[in-house]
Amino acid sequence: YKSFTQVVVLGSSCFVPFMQLSPPNRREVIEDLLDIRIFSTMNGILKERVKGIKETIREIEYQFELAKNKVEMQQSLIANLNEQSNANVARRKKEIVELDGEISNISIGVEDNLKLTKSYEKSLIKYQKVDTELSQLKVYESRFKDKQKAFKKEYKFFESNEHCPTCHQTITANLRNAKKVEITTQLGDIDKATVELQGKLTAILKQVEEKSTIVSQLSDTQRKISDAQREINWRKKQIKQIEDKIEEATGSGSNVKKEKDKLKQLAKDGLKVEESLLDEKKVRDNYNTVTNMLRDTGIKSTIIKKYLPIMNQLINRYLKELDFYVSFELDENFVETIKSRFRDEFSYASFSEGEKMRIDLALLFTWRTIAKMKNS
């Protein structure tokens, strides 16, 4: 209907001129005139087929993955059955004996270290108050130093001052001498006490060092016990895994030959599915090729390119016959370019109604001529 109106109707209220159509609608008119709409119909049918082939391939791929998984599971089963032979069971029992021997050796080491731990803990009993005594002696040492500092400061005061700096009274020589003798005596007592204190500190520090050594040895021994326990647990876990495999082997009634025959059948089924998948993919590839041909840029574009120069030539000829001297050109997307004799560009909307009517007439005559050329 659109194409018919473009060829025989002009000036009707229900008629939309070619120039007022959108580029896709213009393409529809031209495709109809050139009798190439069949390719668009083909493309529509092809899209449905492509959709169908994609769904088919997706389903076959799922079946192929399923077949592969079945084959892999069957192979794994046969490998397990082979592994569950008598020779493997004997080897595993030997491994258990070896692991038991290792556990026994490690356990002996653990017992020795436990005895050492008890010995160290017993030795630490006599060092329980060492830290407290050391702390007290440090306090006494600090106090002695403070007293020495204070006495020395007082001694220096009486040695250097003859008058009291606060009340400005005279300090007699006898008082100063008496005070210095008293301070010297007290300093002597503190020195004696300091020497005695240093002796006690030396003894306590030696005990602290002995305690630190024992604590370090105890920590080392406990770490060795912990490491040994981990080794024992790891070997017990290995033994449990080996025993589980032996149980699985001896408790299985599967027939290896029967399972191998089943594997062959699964492999044949998988090959059939794979062949089917390859065939469908070949069809899909063919459809992709045809899709490229049926696009607007494919066969239709090639045909339109053949006709475009003729169309543009006819349009310009009819415009000239209508005394409308412009250069009118449609491109492959049916978008117009209108230039004046001075090569200024215009749009269809910029012309008067009479000029628009001449363009519409020129296009109408052109489509009639193209229709005659294409048909009998």
Tokens matching residue 247: 């149980």
Tokens matching residue 84: 């569950």
Tokens matching residue 375: 């048909």
**How many residues would you count in the chain?**
376
Each residue's pLDDT expressed in tens, for the chain with a length of 376 residues = 777 777 776 666 667 788 888 888 888 888 888 888 888 889 889 999 999 999 999 999 899 899 889 888 888 877 777 766 667 777 888 888 988 898 898 888 888 888 888 887 787 777 777 777 778 878 877 887 888 788 777 777 777 777 776 776 776 777 777 877 888 888 788 888 888 878 878 887 887 788 788 888 888 888 888 998 888 899 889 888 888 777 766 655 445 677 788 888 889 988 998 899 899 999 999 999 999 998 878 888 888 888 899 999 999 999 999 999 899 998 888 888 898 876 778 888 888 888 888 998 999 899 889 888 877 6
Q: Any residues with CB less than 8 A from the CB of 201 and at least 6 apart, and which?
A: 134, 137, 138, 141
Q: 183, exposed or middle or buried, with CB in 10 Å at 0-12, 13-18, 19+?
A: buried
Q: Any residues with CB less than 8 A from the CB of 95 and at least 6 apart, and which?
A: 238, 242
pTM metric for this prediction: 0.43
Distance CA 183, CA 181 (A): 6
Nearest Cα residue to 210 out of 310, 154, 131: 131
Is 346 in a helix, a strand, or coil?
strand
Tokens matching residue 285: 């590839």
The Cα-based distances of 360 to 13, 192, 338 in angstroms read: 14, 130, 13
